Amino acid sequence: MRFLSIVLLILAISVSCQKKIELAAPPYDSEIAVEMYLEEGSILKCLLTESLPYTDTAINRPLADAVVVFSDGVTRDTLQNKELHDWEHGRWYNYARYKRFEPDAAKTYTLTVTDGGKRTVSASTRFSQPLVQIKQLVSKPLEQEQGGFSVGVVIPDPPETENFYRLMIARKLNDFNASSTDVYMSDLSFNGQSFSVFSKEGYAKGDTVTVRLYSLQKEHYDYIQSVNGARLSNFNPLVQPSKIRSNIEGGVGIFAAIRYDQKQIVIR
């Protein structure tokens, strides 16, 4: 839908002009922004920043003076304010605890953050989503790109549950580009059926391509959708601006349990 509205907008914008203005924006109180993902075998890490009024001239700074407590209902871990790089995905976090995380589907995990200003935010999550496996990978020559091959992925959607997916196809997951495939889907319109997606990017013979299929929690899917919607509506008057649907109580961001199936294919 959003893609379509952009298409419709192209004609209008082709004759448009722009002029800078002074904007009297509505008032806004800054919030704590949280980003933390729980993943099997990964260490506990969290990115804490502070949101700002939209047209503020400052940079969104990392939050340095917070107390970050993670709990699995039995034990409590306090994450330290230290920089941590996730080299696999090319990410950076500012709170961490070097403890390998082992998920338990029966447990509810909670996160509590209190900053120097005594603001407190909290969130909880569970590994409740079923893990859906990639059924088939194929490669086919691309008509539009001589010598290029598209990678196709077949995914069997289980009918008994409501499922949300994120599919990524790239040579390397820490070297994503604009042509790499990164799509989000809800099974609302294909529940119980197999569906397939082909990569937009073409790969050469001999390339090793990684395909990762995330099984997302509903709140994680809603959050990502709302973030994409909010970013897009910032330059498109034809869509209703999207509010951020966050599971962080008292703040903004996401605290999510990550599950995925990953396979590779060598283009031949």
Tokens (6 digits) for 7 = 């298409």
Question: Per CB under 8 A, which of residues 158..177 are in contact with another protein?
Answer: 168, 173, 176-177
**The only residue of 76, 85, 89, 99 in contact with another protein, by rule CB under 8 A:** 89
Q: Is 264 in the site for another protein (CB under 8 A)?
A: no
**The only residue of 78, 80, 108, 136 in contact with another protein, by rule CB under 8 A:** 136
Task: Give backbone dihedrals phi and psi of 219, rounded to 5 degrees, phi first.
Answer: -65, -30
Q: Is 226 in the site for another protein (CB under 8 A)?
A: yes
**The only residue of 231, 249, 264, 266 in contact with another protein, by rule CB under 8 A:** 231
Question: Per CB under 8 A, which of residues 29..58 are in contact with another protein?
Answer: 30-31, 33, 35, 37, 47, 49-57
CA 254, 256, 257 angle in degrees (round to 5)? Answer: 175
Closest approach of Cβ 85 to another protein, in Å? 12
Closest approach of Cβ 74 to another protein, in Å? 25
Q: Which of 266, 2, 3 is closest to 138 using CA atoms?
A: 266
Question: Per CB under 8 A, which of residues 9..28 are in contact with another protein?
Answer: 10-23, 25-28
Q: Could you tell me which stretch among 73-81, 106-114, 120-128, 237-245 binds another protein (CB under 8 A)?
A: 237-245
By CB under 8 A, the count of residues binding another protein is 98
Grouping H, G, I as helix, E, B as strand and the rest as coil, residue 260 is strand
Task: Give the count of alpha carbons within 13 A of 65, CB side only.
Answer: 5
Task: Give backbone dihedrals phi and psi of 125, rounded to 5 degrees, phi first.
Answer: -155, 165
Q: Compose the 61-80 pattern: x for residues touching another protein by CB under 8 A, - for all others.
A: --------------------
**The only residue of 64, 190, 205, 208 in contact with another protein, by rule CB under 8 A:** 190
Q: Is 98 in the site for another protein (CB under 8 A)?
A: no
**The only residue of 124, 245, 250, 263 in contact with another protein, by rule CB under 8 A:** 245
Instruction: Measure the CA–CA gap between 32 and 50, rounded to whole angstroms.
Output: 5
**The only residue of 43, 67, 69, 227 in contact with another protein, by rule CB under 8 A:** 227
Strands (E) across 148-223 are located at 149-156, 164-170, 181-186, 194-198, 208-216
Strands (E) across 101-141 are located at 108-114, 120-126, 136-141
Q: Is 256 in the site for another protein (CB under 8 A)?
A: yes
**The only residue of 76, 82, 99, 140 in contact with another protein, by rule CB under 8 A:** 140
* Sign of torsion over alpha carbons 89, 90, 94, 98: positive
Instruction: Measure the CA–CA gap between 37 and 88, rounded to whole angstroms.
Output: 14
Tokens (6 digits) for 48 = 């804490």
Q: Whose Cβ is closer to another protein: residue 76's or residue 89's? A: 89
